Structures are given as structure tokens and as C-alpha cells.
């Protein structure tokens, strides 16, 4: 924060500037300040300066949902300084990010400067990347503020405020204080809850696979042995359910001849994927780097706003990171062509630059996430970036280069084998003939999404296939039966939750990371090894909302709302009409819920523990952060403590117990009950055997 203030002060020190430029952050201001001449003074608004009040809804439901905007308390000094900076300026350029939110910030800033009825001309400049060329080009072509974009943001803000500020009090009254409900967050939470319940209901089914160890019958003793899987019994797919069936098959197959029936070789081309959109970046940063969605966006923001590169100065390394478009500027494609030709050769270049299709509703004017220069390699910037930032930049850089390259070419071989006339076995293999785009990005692993399909459907690939011919006899070395059990669908993690939200049309690129953070922050779900697991509180909230507000938690309805918000942006719908169409049915459900929603607050549960202050019995109570112990003498005695876990603190001579704790911005952890005297913390409880040993040693 100290650094930010210094940067603002530095930018304000410019004397004699004719124009004022306002961006959101000091980092962005610092970078842009170096691209513009002395006639420009660049300052930061520190994000939004006006918003709806926190203490009340701030929306007039009786008069076309008119919003009541106020200067945000933390922005008071900033606004005062901005007005001072604007004095005597010919032009004010508002230059927040190129999206709905940025357009809204521009509009609010414009309102602040125009409310006195006079002042300099206000223009909007927009750039997708923070490089000298892009910034100067934007200032050569300023425009007016786009009110369609502003209305789309305003509609979303008002809609979410109306839903949140009217649903949340119902949860406070009937579930617990401090809870919240949101239009997108509640649907996302429902996905997590429904998946968990699906897992609980799942009953594993036993099945078996049978593989044969084979080699060519003729030839040297050391002939290559390979595996082949049983895939057919009398033209039907085998369904092997137990050990006895496997034993019977083995007995019969031992006496049958094995022969190559057919060998198929086909060439297949694997096309590169498009450069990153926000959701795809979040998904791959999670699966490849282990970054949460929030962490990915935090790092990407820094890469976009500018990084000090020694003699080169401060420059944005990537284009704007909130986008659902896969478009790429022609100039960026041309630079990628030059780099690929120099580093990989002309064989890696397609005849024409590839064109990728964005998903329905994407903002085609925007670009995909890409490096601002293909020649700014990860190696060339690694000394200027922290480890996480370098990893994310390299992922973006490699993805973009790969997207501009030719497909990889593979040779797929499938060997069909007959045992007698009744049993069919199959062996598959793959050999790369030309790496294509994988030379830049590596192999792309396709993640199987919670499939209930059993493993017998998949024939494992053999790394190196022997050189066989159709009709050739084979030697059986061994038959291997293996027991399996069908698996339940996997729990959602950041990547898979974002994927389903995008597929269902729930939320937009800028909302995915905040949605997950809110669900975790409200204690509706917890992380466990990356998985998102609903808490008891989260399940309760979903159940009560589904019962009384089924439309709010309906995926199709929520997706339709997103489409209407997009239509506002395109100028096809008025924002007030969209809100009226929503609020009519919603208000009726609200009235009904006021009287019909049942109180589901669990009753306190007595325990054997005594209050450390007054000696009365402690009760298990339920709050926003889960279960805790509280004195039965409340409100006279307000003593509370965490519920003991039965695990002692391992610190020598401490004698405290480990209790579950939470801190803002991090997952649940366990700390000593003797805090602050003992500051021992651990992410997970010890194993039972370790705990038993620790308990025997504890005083």
C-alpha cells in the first residue's frame, strides 16, 4: 500500500500536463506513464470510486430500479485528488480495462467530473495490451463511453444486489447470521452439493479385465512380449463380473491358438487448441500448475499491467486477461509466424494463419490471452519474474505459439487377435510422425470428466508394438485377470467447476474466480486436496433455496439471464425491462418465503465440557463458520471455544489440543487451543496411529 501511494505521488508530480489520464491501478499508471509524453499526467482511481451503499439495498424498486450511487468511503480522498488533478486540464482520458466493468468505472468517473456542470472534455480510451504501440494507438482513436456496456454492467450489479439483499436476510433469520445468497454463486454451490450427493449414493460395481501376454510364435526367444486385452466373446462385449468367470476363461484360453487377425494403421492429425480465454487459462493453470482460479487471475493481472524488464522498462507481458474471445490480432499472428519460422522452421507453419471460433456470445472485438510479443520468450524474462508469474507466463506464451502452428501427425496401429474362433483380443499403439504444435506446447492431456464408463472399454496403449503380420501365429505366455470397481464421479475442483459453469452459460469470465472465492469464504464449501467439498451449512443453504426459489437455482434460467445481459450490451434489450421481467415472479416467491420458510437453525447440543469462565455446561452451537462450543449461560457469559478434535499439540510441554480454525483468504487449518501462548499450526490432523502415540505422551 505504501508503494502504491508513492507511485500515485510520482505521477502527480508532472508539471504542465495538458491532459489527465485515469486508469485503475498504480502499476498500470506507472507503465502507461512511460509511453506518453509530458503533456499527459497518468493517475490511478484505485478501482471503482462509486457504488451502491453497503448499509442498504440502494435500489428504488418502485421507480424502474433506479440505483443510488455514492462515493465509496475508501475512495473519498482519491476522488478529491482526482478533481484537483483535473483542474486546468484540456482533456480527461478515462482508460480502465476493456470490459463492462471498465466501462462502468469510466462512466462513474465521468459523472464525478461533470456533476459541477463544467470541466474538460472526457474521452474513453481502450487498449487490449499495455505496450507503447497499443497505448499510443488507443490515444489516437479515443471514443465516447459506450452506454450499452455501462447498462449491461449496471443491470448485473442491480440484479445481484436485489437478489442478494432480499435473499440473505431470509437466510439470517432461518439458517444463521452472516450468510449470503447470490444469483451465480448459489447455482455454482448447487453443482458442488449435487455432485457430493451423487458420490454418496454411488454403489461400486465389481468387474474384471483379462489381458494376454503374447509374442510372435516364430523367431528368437527374446521376441518382444506385448499385452492384448479381451474385447469380444462371440462378437459381444465381455462382461466379466467375478474371479470364477476369469478362472473359467483362463482354463479355456490356455488351450486355444492365438493368431493375428488384422492390422490397421491410420494417420491422424491432432490440431492445436485456440489461445487461452479466461476460463481455459484458469482450467489449465489449475491442472498443469496447481493454481487456484483466484491465484491465476491475481498473477495474470500483474503480467497484464506491467513488469519492469531492466533496460526495456515497464511493459505489459500479456493481453487483457478477462476475455471469452479466441481472436488474435493480425500483427500478433505475423510476429508469431516470424518467430516460428526462425526457431522451428517453415514446416511448422500452416499455409494460412489459423482462425478459431469463439463460443456463442463471446465479445468478438476482444482478443484471446496471448503474450504481447512472441519474441519475449520465458527465458528472456525469467530473471524479472517470480516463480509463479514465470510459470503462468510460460503457459500463456507456449499456448499462443502452439495455436499458430500446424497439427501434430500420429500413426495409430490397432492389432486384432483371435483366440480360437470365439475370443477377440485387441492391442493398440501410437507413434508420433511429426510433432507439429507439440514442439512448442508439449502433449495435451485430455482429462476424463467424471465418466462412469468402466475401464474395460479402454484398450491400453502399448508403447512399442512388435512387427507383426496378418495371419501370423502368436505364443501365449500368461493370462492376467485384474479386478476393478466402478468409480463415482470426481468431486469438483476449480478447473472442472469453471468448465461446467462455462458449458452451462452460468456467469462470465470475470465472475468465475470471485464465485469460487465467495463459496469458500462463506464456508459453504471447503478445499480438500484441491477438491471442493460442501459443508453442512452449504447443503442446508442449497436445500432451502431450491425449495423456495427453484428458478434462482435453475441452470437454464440463470443462463437465460446471462444471455439477456449480453443482449443489453448489444443494444437489443433495455436493462430496466430485463429487471422488471425478473423481479415480478421473484417478488411473489419472496412474499411466500417470508411466511413459509422454516427455521432450520439446529438446536444447541449439550456436552461434557465446562465453561472456563463460569463453570457452566458448554453447548455445541452452529454458526456461520460451522460448529463451536458456547457457554449455556449466554448472554450473561459469552465464552466460546472451538470444538476439540481429540488430538494433542505436539509442542513439548504445551498440553493444548488441536482445534479447527479459519482465517480470511486461506483454507481451514488446525491450531493449538493455547494460542497465543502456543502458535503451532498444521493444515491437516495427524493420522490416528500418530495421534494415539501423541496422546500417550501428552500430560
CB 426 within 8 A of CB 228: yes
- Cell numbers linked to 279: 476460463
In 155-279, beta strands by DSSP E: 206-216, 226-233, 258-270
In the block, which residue shows the cell 470444538?
A: 643
Bridge partners of residue 67, in order along the sequence: 59
Task: Render 332-389 in DSSP notation, one character per residue.
Answer: HHHHHHHHHHHHT-GGGS-SS----PPPTT--TTS--B-BS-TTS-HHHHGGGS-HHH
C-alpha of 576 from chain center: 31
Angle of helix 555-569 versus helix 147-174 axis, rounded to 10: 150
The CA distance from 616 to 351, in Å, is 81
Bridge partners of residue 669, in order along the sequence: 661
- Cell numbers linked to 419: 483366440
Which helix (H) or strand (E) covers residue 82, if one does?
A: helix 76-86
In 160-283, beta strands by DSSP E: 206-216, 226-233, 258-270
The CA distance from 59 to 69, in Å, is 9
In the block, which residue shows the cell 437466510?
A: 171
Known catalytic membership, residue 648: no
Q: How many helices (H) and strands (E) does the chain have?
A: 20, 26
The CA distance from 192 to 501, in Å, is 11
Strands 91-94, 19-23: pairing is: parallel
The CA distance from 391 to 70, in Å, is 41
Active-site entry in 93, 276, 286, 320: 320
**C-alpha angle 309/48/571, rounded to 5°?**
105
The CA distance from 235 to 418, in Å, is 11
DSSP letter, residue 288: H
Catalytic residue numbers, as ranges: 320
Amino acid at each position: 500500500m505504501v508503494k502504491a501511494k508513492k507511485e500515485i505521488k510520482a505521477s502527480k508530480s508532472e508539471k504542465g500536463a495538458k491532459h489527465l489520464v485515469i486508469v485503475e491501478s498504480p502499476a498500470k499508471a506507472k507503465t502507461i506513464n512511460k509511453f506518453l509524453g509530458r503533456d499527459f499526467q497518468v493517475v490511478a482511481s484505485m478501482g471503482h470510486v462509486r457504488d451502491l451503499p453497503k448499509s442498504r439495498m440502494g435500489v428504488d424498486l418502485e421507480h424502474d430500479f433506479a440505483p443510488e450511487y455514492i462515493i465509496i468511503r475508501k475512495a473519498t480522498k482519491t476522488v478529491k485528488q482526482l478533481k484537483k488533478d483535473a483542474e486546468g486540464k484540456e482533456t480527461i482520458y478515462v482508460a480502465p480495462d476493456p470490459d463492462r466493468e471498465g466501462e462502468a468505472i469510466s462512466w462513474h468517473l465521468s459523472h464525478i467530473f461533470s456533476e459541477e456542470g463544467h470541466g474538460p472534455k472526457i474521452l474513453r480510451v481502450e487498449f487490449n495490451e499495455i505496450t507503447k504501440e497499443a497505448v499510443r494507438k488507443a490515444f489516437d482513436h479515443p471514443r465516447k463511453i459506450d452506454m450499452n456496456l455501462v447498462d449491461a454492467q449496471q443491470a448485473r450489479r442491480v440484479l445481484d444486489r436485489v437478489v442478494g439483499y432480499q435473499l440473505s436476510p431470509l437466510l439470517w433469520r432461518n439458517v444463521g447470521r452472516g450468510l449470503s445468497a447470490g444469483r451465480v454463486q448459489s447455482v455454482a454451490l448447487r453443482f458442488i452439493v449435487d455432485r457430493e450427493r451423487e458420490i454418496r449414493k454411488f454403489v461400486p460395481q465389481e468387474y474384471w479385465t483379462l489381458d494376454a501376454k503374447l509374442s510372435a510364435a516364430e523367431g528368437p526367444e527374446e521376441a518382444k512380449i506385448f499385452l492384448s486385452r479381451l474385447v469380444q466373446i462371440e462378437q459381444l462385449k465381455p462382461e466379466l463380473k467375478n474371479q470364477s468367470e476369469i478362472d473359467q476363461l483362463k482354463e479355456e484360453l490356455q488351450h486355444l491358438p492365438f493368431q493375428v487377425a488384422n492390422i490397421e494403421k491410420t494417420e491422424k492429425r491432432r490440431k492445436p487448441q485456440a489461445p487461452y480465454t479466461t476460463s481455459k487459462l484458469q482450467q489449465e493453470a489449475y491442472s498443469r500448475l496447481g493454481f487456484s482460479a483466484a491465484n491465476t487471475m491475481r498473477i495474470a493481472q500483474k503480467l497484464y499491467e506491467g513488469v519492469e524488464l531492466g533496460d526495456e522498462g515497464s511493459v505489459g507481458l500479456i493481453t487483457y486477461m478477462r476475455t471469452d474471445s479466441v481472436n488474435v490480432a493480425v500483427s500478433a499472428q505475423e510476429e508469431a509466424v516470424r518467430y516460428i519460422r526462425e526457431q522451428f522452421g517453415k514446416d511448422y507453419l500452416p499455409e494460412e494463419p489459423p482462425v478459431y471460433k469463439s463460443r456463442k456470445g463471446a465479445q468478438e472485438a476482444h482478443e484471446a490471452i496471448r503474450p504481447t510479443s512472441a519474441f519475449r520468450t520465458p527465458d528472456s524474462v525469467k530473471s524479472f519474474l517470480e516463480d509463479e508469474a514465470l510459470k503462468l507466463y510460460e503457459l500463456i506464451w507456449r499456448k499462443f505459439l502452439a495455436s499458430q502452428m500446424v497439427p501434430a501427425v500420429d500413426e495409430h496401429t490397432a492389432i486384432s487377435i483371435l483366440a480360437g474362433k470365439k475370443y477377440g483380443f485387441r492391442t493398440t499403439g501410437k507413434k508420433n510422425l511429426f510433432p507439429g504444435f507439440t514442439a512448442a506446447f508439449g502433449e495435451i492431456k485430455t482429462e476424463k470428466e467424471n465418466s462412469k464408463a468402466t475401464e474395460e472399454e479402454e484398450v491400453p496403449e502399448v508403447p512399442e508394438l512388435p512387427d507383426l503380420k496378418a495371419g501370423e501365429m502368436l505364443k501365449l505366455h500368461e493370462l492376467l485377470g485384474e479386478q476393478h470397481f466402478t468409480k463415482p464421479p470426481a468431486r469438483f475442483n476449480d478447473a472442472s467447476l469453471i468448465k461446467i459453469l462455462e458449458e452451462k452459460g452460468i456467469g462470465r469470465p470475470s465472475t468465475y474466480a470471485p464465485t469460487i472465492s465467495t463459496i469458500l469464504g462463506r464456508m459453504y464449501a471447503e478445499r480438500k486436496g484441491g477438491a471442493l467439498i460442501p459443508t453442512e451449512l452449504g447443503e442446508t443453504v442449497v436445500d432451502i433455496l431450491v425449495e423456495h426459489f427453484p428458478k434462482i437455482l435453475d441452470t437454464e434460467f440463470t443462463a437465460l439471464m446471462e444471455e439477456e445481459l449480453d443482449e443489453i450490451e448489444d443494444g437489443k434489450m433495455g436493462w430496466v425491462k430485463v429487471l422488471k421481467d425478473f423481479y415480478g415472479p421473484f417478488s411473489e416467491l419472496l412474499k411466500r418465503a417470508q411466511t413459509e420458510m422454516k427455521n432450520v437453525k439446529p438446536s444447541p447440543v449439550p456436552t461434557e465440557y465446562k465453561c472456563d469462565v463460569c463453570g457452566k455446561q458448554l453447548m455445541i452451537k452452529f454458526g456461520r463458520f460451522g460448529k463451536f462450543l458456547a457457554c449455556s449461560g449466554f448472554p450473561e457469559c459469552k465464552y466460546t471455544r472451538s470444538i476439540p478434535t481429540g488430538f494433542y499439540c505436539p509442542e513439548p510441554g504445551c498440553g493444548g489440543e488441536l482445534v479447527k480454525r479459519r482465517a480470511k483468504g486461506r483454507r481451514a487449518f488446525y491450531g493449538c487451543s493455547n494460542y497465543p501462548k502456543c502458535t503451532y499450526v498444521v493444515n491437516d490432523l495427524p493420522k490416528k496411529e500418530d495421534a494415539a502415540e501423541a496422546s500417550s505422551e501428552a500430560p
